[in-house]
Amino acid sequence: MLTKAVRGTQDVLPEKVHVNQFIEAAMLEIARCFGFKEIRTPVFEHTELFTRSVGDTTDVVQKEMYTFEDKGGRSITLRPEGTAGAVRAFLEHSLYNEALPQKVSYITSCYRYEKPQAGRLREFHQFGVECFGPVGPTADAEVIALASEIFDFIGLKGIRLELNSIGCPSCRPAYHEKLADYFKSKRDDLCKTCQGRLERNPMRILDCKSPVCSAIAQAAPLMMDSLCSECLEHFEGLKQGLDDLGIAYIINAGIVRGLDYYSRTVFEFISDEIGAQGTLCGGGRYDGLVEEMGGPQMPALGFAMGIERILLLLEAQKVALPPATACELFIVTHGENAHNLAAVLANEMRAAGLVVDFDLMGRSVKAQMKHANRISALYTVVIGDDELEKGQAGLRNMQSGQTQVIELDKFVDSFMTLRAKDATESLSQAVEASLFDN
Ligand code: ATP
Ligand code: MG
C-alpha cells in the first residue's frame, strides 16, 4: 500500500518528464499565438457546479465524480473536466464585462472514477481552451484549427477530425421526441441507467458505452436530419471555414459528446493507433451554458485534449522530440579547496543559465568521472591542487574526447568561448560531411 500509487493514477518520472514539458509548453504557446491566455482554477469546486453544468444525466456526474464532504459540511468535487471551472471563474470575475471574445487556455489534472485501462485513468490531465463571445462559425473553425496545429506541431500523424451538429434549443426538443419514441420501443433492452435517461435526456443514450445500448443507438434517428435552418447555416459555415483553412474532416452524425452542455458544433479528434480509447480531443459549442449558470446570454465554445492519450500516440508513432537538457558540465574535484571552488563556479555558471553539477557524494576522482559519464555530461573538468596552483585546468569534451585549457579565473567566459568553438566546428564538420555525401 505504502509504496504503490492509487489505482488509476501514475507518476511521471524525471527521466520522461521532458516529453510532458515539451508538449505542454507547445500547447500553451500555440494557444497564445491564437490569442488565448492561460487561466488557473482550483482543483476542487462545489459539487453543484458540475451537476449543473456537466449535467446530472451524464456518466461523469452519475458514476465518475470524486465527491466528498469537507470538514465544514460542504459537498466538494475534484474537477472531472475543465470547462465548468473556467465558466465559474468567467462569471465570478465578471469577465463578460471585459473585451470580448475572452479566450482562455489551461492545463489541468482531472479526476474520474472510471475503470482504469490504457488511455483511461482516474487522475489524468487535459489541455483545454474556452472562447466566450463569438456566435459565428469562424470561431468554431478557429478552435479546431488550434487543436489541429498542436497535433501537427508535435509531429502526430493520422489523426481524424470528426464533426457533427447537435442542434439548438429551437430544434432539439422535436428531435428529443423522435428519439424518445424510438428508444421507448426498445426500452426493455436498454441498460438501467439509460432507461432512467429515456424521459429526461434521451440523447445521452447515444453516448452510452454499453454494447447493447450502442447497438440500439446505431439505428436511432439523427439530429443532423432535424436541424433548424440557423443550425444548418452555422454548420455549413464551419465546413466552409475548415475548407478555407485546409483542414480535413469527416461528418459523423453519431457524435453527441459525453457532457450535457454542448449545442450546435461538436467534434472529436480520433486516432486508431492507441486502442479503444482513441479520442484525443473533444469539444464544441456550449451557447447556453453561461446563461444557465446565472450569467448573461453568452455564446461560447472550447475543447479539451487528453495529455496521456497524446503521450500514448507519441510513443506508438515513435515521434522524435527534443531530448532533455543534459548536464553541460560536471566539475570533478580532488581535495577540499577544489571542492569549495567547484561550488562557487557551479553557482556562477548556473546563474548564467547553464546546467552544471559537481560532486556531492564524496566520490573519488575515478568514481566522479564514471558518474559524469552516467549522467551523459557534455563536458568535464578535473580540478585538484595542481590545477589550483597553475590557475588552469583541462576541459574535456566528452563526445570528441578532446581537451582544451580553461582559465580558472575566467571560468565562465572561458567555458562559453570553448563551447561555442566546439559547436562551430561540429557544425562545419556536419556541413562538410553532407556536401561530401552529395
Ligand atoms: P471518453 O469517451 O473517452 O470517455 P469523454 O467524452 O469522457 O471521453 P471528455 O470529457 O470530452 O472525454 O474529455 C476530453 C478528453 O480528455 C478526451 O477526449 C480524452 O482524451 C481525455 N480523457 C477523458 N477521460 C479520460 C480518462 N479517464 N483518462 C485519460 N484521458 C481521459
Ligand atoms: Mg468518459
Lowest mean pLDDT segment, chosen from 41-50, 251-260, 404-413: 251-260
* Collapsed DSSP state (helix, strand, coil) of residue 106: strand
Q: Which residue has the cell 430544434?
A: 171
CB of residue 308 inside a 6 A radius of ligand 1: yes
Cβ atoms within 10 A of the Cβ of 21, count?
13
Spatial separation of the C-alpha atoms in residues 114 and 109, rounded to whole Å: 15
- Residue 402: which domain range? 329-419
Query: Does 252 map to a domain?
Result: yes
* DSSP letter for each residue of 228-267: -HHHHHHHHHHHHHHHHHT---EE-TT---SSTT-EEEEE
C-alpha cell at position 249: 474532416
Amino acid 256: pLDDT: 86
Ligand nearest to the CA of 63: 2
* Collapsed DSSP state (helix, strand, coil) of residue 373: helix
Can the peptide bond before residue 101 be classed as cis, meaning omega within 30 degrees of 0?
Answer: yes
CB of residue 258 inside a 6 A radius of ligand 1: yes
Which CATH number do you get for residue 161?
3.30.930.10
Asked if residue 369 has pLDDT above 60, the reply is: yes
Spatial separation of the C-alpha atoms in residues 108 and 408, rounded to whole Å: 46
CB of residue 81 inside a 6 A radius of ligand 1: yes
Which residue type, as a one-letter code, is found at position 126?
A: Q
Report pLDDT digits (tens) over 49-94.
Answer: 999 999 988 889 999 999 999 999 999 999 999 999 999 999 999 9
Report pLDDT digits (tens) over 164-200.
Answer: 999 999 999 999 899 999 999 999 999 999 998 888 8
Task: Give the number of the atom of ligand 1 that is nearest the alpha carbon of residue 277.
Answer: 3
- Closest-CA residue, ligand 1 atom 6, reads 258
Task: Give the number of the atom of ligand 1 that is nearest the alpha carbon of residue 122.
Answer: 27
The pick from 59, 277, 314 for probing ligand 1's pocket by mutation, whose C-beta has the most ligand atoms within 8 angstroms, reads: 277
Q: What is the pTM of this model?
A: 0.92
Query: Does 212 map to a domain?
Result: no
Report pLDDT digits (tens) over 269-291.
Answer: 999 999 989 999 999 999 999 99
Dihedral-angle region of residue 353 (phi above 0 means left; psi in -120 to 50 means alpha; beta otherwise): left
Same domain, 345 and 307: no
Closest to 134 (Cα-Cα) out of 305, 260, 302: 302
Same domain, 284 and 365: no
CB of residue 281 inside a 6 A radius of ligand 1: yes
Same domain, 276 and 358: no
- Closest-CA residue, ligand 1 atom 24, reads 120
CB of residue 59 inside a 6 A radius of ligand 1: no
Q: How many domains does the chain divide into?
A: 2
Same domain, 146 and 289: yes
Asked if residue 146 has pLDDT above 90, the reply is: yes
* DSSP letter for each residue of 331-342: EEE-SHHHHHHH
